[in-house]
């Protein structure tokens, strides 16, 4: 049985972590873009008004101000909806922040389909790919509230640009304060040698649900929480491929350029095995109930189970072809 410690949106993890950092580190400076309430910055702005600026709906300016603060020794955290932060300000992030290797932390909220009623314009489904392709950028996609807190606090003491992705909807809390978290190190949540299922963000829970179904059918899945997509944990990925022989990746993101692509890049160079990538298949999102959207776009545990069956069939053909 999966142990769940309640439900809470990952954006709350960001809001609570940034307040905790503000209390212990006077160099923390926070900037918003007219979405402070939605991304949980209100507590910080009230407690530390001299270290908070709302620049308004001006994302490119947001990056410029944060860069200036970083040059003067502050640790600026900037947050708004992921699609506006990563999309509108990409060139400034690339050239001003990453090219200069500035210590700016970018926090993209309302990522994935689970923004729900806000619809396609507000659903960040591409930003993992456009962030991870920039040199020097680190990309983190935590699986729950507690892991988001840990990711934000860790990023404050990780030199250089970091992008952290989190969401709007309440989701199960799978980890606790004692759970291991380190930037760049994936976590094995369930062991197994029949198939390796590697997931990030909201899809970690769905992967664990899938593992329970698979176990009843005699298939033992290794479930890996790949919270850091860049730098990715090559050692854990390669070992899982060697032990299991097949891989399924799962993400609330386009199948192009995200977690699945990152894992495929590792394996094609080191240990090629059959892979199935579960994600958004080259489509824009739409308005609707968050859970209904996950079902419609093929991101539920049943879809992961089907992907496992599919990749296991390919494993038999792959083995015959090689040997």
What is the C-alpha separation between 154 and 51, in angstroms, rounded?
20
What is the C-alpha separation between 103 and 228, in angstroms, rounded?
18
Q: What are 45-53's contacts with CB under 8 Å, separation 24+?
A: 47/19, 47/22, 47/23, 48/22, 51/22, 53/29
Inter-residue contact 210 to 301 (CB < 8 Å): yes
- Nearest alpha carbon to residue 9 among 187, 153, 165, 123: 165
At which residue do the structure tokens 């606790």 appear?
Answer: 176
What is the C-alpha separation between 7 and 73, in angstroms, rounded?
37
Inter-residue contact 183 to 228 (CB < 8 Å): yes
Inter-residue contact 245 to 315 (CB < 8 Å): yes
What is the side-by-side order of every strand in the sheet holding 105-109? 52-54, 28-32, 75-81, 105-109, 162-165, 138-140, 228-230
Q: Report phi then psi at 104, rounded to 5.
A: -110, 135
For the CA atoms of 250, 239, 132, 302, the dihedral, rounded to the nearest 10 degrees, stands at: 0
What stretch of H or E contains 171?
strand 170-172
The torsion region of residue 119 among left (phi > 0), alpha (psi -120 to 50) and beta comes to left
- Nearest alpha carbon to residue 255 among 216, 289, 297, 224: 297
What residues are annotated to the active site? 59
Pair of tokens at residue 319: 């083995």
Q: Return the SS3 of 205.
A: helix
């Amino acid at each position: 049985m999966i142990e769940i410690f309640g439900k809470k949106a990952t954006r709350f993890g960001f809001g609570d972590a940034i307040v905790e950092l503000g209390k212990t580190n006077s160099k923390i400076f926070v900037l918003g873009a007219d979405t402070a309430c939605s991304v949980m910055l209100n507590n910080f702005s009230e407690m530390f008004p001299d270290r908070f600026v709302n620049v308004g709906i001006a994302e490119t300016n947001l990056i410029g101000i944060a860069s200036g603060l970083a040059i003067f020794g502050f640790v600026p955290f900037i947050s708004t909806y992921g699609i506006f932060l990563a999309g509108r300000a990409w060139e400034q992030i690339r050239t001003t922040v990453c090219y200069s290797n500035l210590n700016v932390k970018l926090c993209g909220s309302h990522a994935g389909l689970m923004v729900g009623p806000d619809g396609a314009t507000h659903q960040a489904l591409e930003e993992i790919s456009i962030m991870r392709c920039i040199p020097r950028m680190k990309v983190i996609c935590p699986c729950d509230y507690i892991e988001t807190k840990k990711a934000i606090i860790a990023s404050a003491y990780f030199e250089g640009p970091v992008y952290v992705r989190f969401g709007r909807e309440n989701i199960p809390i799978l980890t606790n304060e004692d759970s291991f978290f380190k930037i760049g190190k994936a976590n094995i949540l369930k062991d197994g040698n029949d198939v390796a299922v590697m997931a990030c963000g909201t899809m970690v829970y769905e992967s664990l649900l899938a593992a329970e179904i698979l176990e009843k059918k005699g298939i033992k899945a290794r479930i890996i929480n790949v919270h850091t997509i860049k730098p990715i944990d090559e050692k854990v990925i390669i070992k899982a491929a060697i032990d299991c022989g097949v891989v399924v990746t799962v993400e609330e993101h386009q199948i192009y350029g995200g977690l699945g692509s990152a894992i495929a890049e590792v394996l094609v160079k080191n240990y090629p095995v059959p892979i199935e990538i579960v994600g958004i298949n080259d489509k824009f999102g739409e308005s609707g109930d968050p859970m209904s959207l996950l079902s419609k776009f093929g991101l539920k545990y049943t879809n992961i189970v089907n992907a496992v069956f599919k990749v296991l069939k390919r494993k038999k053909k792959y083995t015959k072809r090689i040997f």
